[in-house]
A and B are shown apart, each in its own frame.
Chain A
């Protein structure tokens, strides 16, 4: 069984600063994928970044980067130069090798202060 844990229910960050959102996962499969999604108050889930378990380098997408530590089973999201529009709920999710299903964590609410 796959399990995703996000231990930070809410975080505040000052505009233009960086913020790290924690995500740990549990799986016995050697092949898996890790995702981060953003959910603003409008409700839509927006894909941010993906990391495959065999990827040698940490994934980056613009201001988003994923700090992948396989041995520790963690996949933390780093948002650099925070903007007011980054205020939202952020979800970490995992997919197994033969499993199309995404298993989501409970999410972390980020509030960016001006």
Chain B
């Protein structure tokens, strides 16, 4: 069974530029999560989708971050415009239903200069 796929693995941009990350969850998993992991810290949930609906985006900085999960499968997370403090690893995870164990992808390491 294929795991959670993410791309790109690495991205370097200048502040005020835009960037997008892509995630393809494990086939059949209804729930998809985006986490932000700043160096030296544990991951922090940004947004959770149940199928194609948003369950929780309370910690998503909505003035610059957006995410969508069209058709309830893959998802895109966008930052526009990026700030220096957005430098982090962005992890995507999926689970069969809320409350189950979450399976993580390899992450996208973003560096904003």
Interface of A with B (CB < 8 Å)?
A: 4, 33, 35, 37, 42-47, 50, 91, 93, 95, 100-102, 104-107
Number of A-B contacts (CB under 8 A): 49
Given contacts A91-B42, A100-B98, 9 further A-B contacts (CB under 8 A): A4-B42, A43-B89, A47-B101, A95-B99, A100-B99, A101-B48, A102-B102, A104-B44, A107-B42
Residues of A within 8 A of B107 (CB): 43-44
Q: Is the CB of A50 within 8 A of B101?
A: yes
A100 to B48, Cβ gap below 8 A? yes
| B interface residues, tally (CB under 8 Å) | 23
Contacts of B106 in A (CB 8 A): 42-44
In the complex, what distance in Å separates the CA atom of A33 from the CA atom of B99?
A: 9
